[in-house]
Structure 1
Amino acid sequence: MTPETEELLIPLRTSRAALLLKLEGLSERDQRRPLTRTGTNLLGLVKHCAFVELGYFGDCFDRPSPVPYPWAQDESDIDDNLDMYAGEGESAADIVALARTAWAQADETFASTDLDATATVPWWPEDRRHPTLRRLIAHVSADVARHAGHADILREQLDGDVGLRPGMSNVPEHDEQWWADYRERLQRIADGC
């Protein structure tokens, strides 16, 4: 892998690690719990990001996915959101293994493909359908970072845990009363608008 490729991959690898960190120490139930109106959940974010990487860094470079896509079934009633949650037959370990498989395939693409090589992204508009690997690394890095941010908020909702790395919360250290007062102050400001 070239030094430039390694440099471009730092944000993607940081976001991948952050996604998995958000699973640590939680029960499988909490990893699966839908915490938003649209059902967003921690395992679903990891699963979705894995399939994003399999598509962009695999299929788009003529490197077929080593695992079947859940939507590649012949059933007409297939759930079009299958990549956003762990199904009844999938364990948390299965989803983490899927992510690691996707990352290994992506890393093979990064190691064997020039940054200026073009991919074919059939679901993109024709005028943008052939981006370079460099462009796709930026695109996927932004997408995975966005979902890592979602995961951070979901984890905070579950047990108050925040941060990018173990032992690094990225927020000022205050006790629970300080945070309760702070939140109340912000609510008063919002209510005054």
Structure 2
Amino acid sequence: MSATDQHKHDLRLYLQDARDAFLFSLEARRAVRVRHPPPLTPTGTNLLGLVKHVTGAEAFYLGTVFGRPVRAPGLWITGDAEPNADLWATPDETREEITGRYRRVWAHSDATVEAFGLDAVGRLPGEDGGDGPALSLHRVLVHLVAETQRHAGHADVVRELIDGTAGLRRGSEDMAPGDEAWWRGHRAQVESAAREAAGRFAG
């Protein structure tokens, strides 16, 4: 395998790892809790909306930018949707629909990556309908790995707030071993340290 092929392989590996983490975040102990209770952050961050957003991002960068459009939610940040429209699920959108669309778009994305070399150049849409700035496939993949992993981290926190589930994936050893009582003690220790520091450095 050439160095360039190895680089492409590595980028695809990390992108797929982030995708899988996203789908694990939707495996809440009670499926209905993926949508309920209401959003747990002031900005409305929610699991289905995060998946919907990264679906649109992949479709944009590995579809539109490389002349291979695919049907997906438009991104509000590109002017293709109302503000934040790609960051929440409407009442008639199901979890199965949103995750199925994500899988279909990432299959399309993988085909784009397979079809082009890392030095291939795509174009962002221009404001006047023409071509905008050029982006290499290498840069697009780095961007998508960073963006998807960032939002997968958001999903980790939201999922833990919903039902207490934590960790990168099922069977993962990325969490310290401990039962529920151990984690309560750990949280109390962290909270105590924070309170002590606040008192020590106040004023």
Q: TM-score range by the shorter chain?
A: 0.7 to 0.9
- Say whether residues 1:57 and 2:62 are aligned partners: yes
1:69 aligns with 2:51: no
Q: Deviations over 1:55-91 (max 9, x none)?
A: 00000111112346386xxxxxx74111111111211
**For residue 13 of structure 1, what is the aligned residue in structure 2?**
16
2:149 aligned with 1:145, yes or no? yes
CA distance in 2, matches of 1:66, 1:2: 29
Note the alpha carbon deviations across 1:116-141, whole angstroms, 9 max, x for none: 011112479xxx92121001100110
Is residue 106 from structure 1 mapped to residue 127 from structure 2 by the alignment? no
Q: Percent of pairs identical after alignment?
A: 38
CA contact (8 A) 1:61 1:119 kept: yes
Pairing 1:164-179 to 2, within 5 Å after superposition: 164-179=168-183
In structure 1, distance between residues paired with 2:43 and 2:17: 26
TM-score, normalization: structure 1? 0.86
Q: CA deviation at 1:102?
A: 1.1
Counterpart contact for 2:56–2:72, Cα < 8 Å: no
One-letter identity of the residue aligned with 1:132: S
- Consecutive unaligned residues of structure 2, counting only runs of 5 or more, are 199-203
CA–CA distance in structure 2, aligned partners of residues 83 and 26 of structure 1: 25
In structure 2, relative to structure 1, the CA distance for the partners of 1:130 and 1:150 (3 Å cut) is same
Letter in 2 for 1:134: H
SS of residue in 2 equivalent to 1:119: strand
* Cα drift, residue 6 of structure 1: 1.8
Whether the aligned pair in 1 keeps the contact of 2:52 and 2:73 (CA below 8 Å) is no
Tell me, what secondary structure is at the counterpart of 1:129? strand
Other-structure match for 1:75? none
Once the two structures are superposed, residues 19-62 of structure 1 have per-residue CA deviations (whole angstroms, 9 ceiling, x without a partner) of 00111144443212422111111111111100000000000111
Give the CA RMSD over aligned residues: 2.3
State the Cα distance separating 1:175 from its structure 2 match: 2.2
- In the alignment, the residues of structure 2 paired with residue 170 and residue 123 of structure 1 have an alpha-carbon distance, to the nearest angstrom, of 43
Could you tell me how far apart the structure 2 residues matched to 1:138 and 1:191 are? 39
Match of 2:95 in 1: 92
Gaps of 5+ in 1: 72-77
Query: How far apart in 2 are the matches of 1:67 and 1:165?
Result: 26
**Higher normalized strand content (fraction of residues):** 2
SS of the equivalent of 2:155 reads helix
Paired position in structure 2 for 1:117: 120
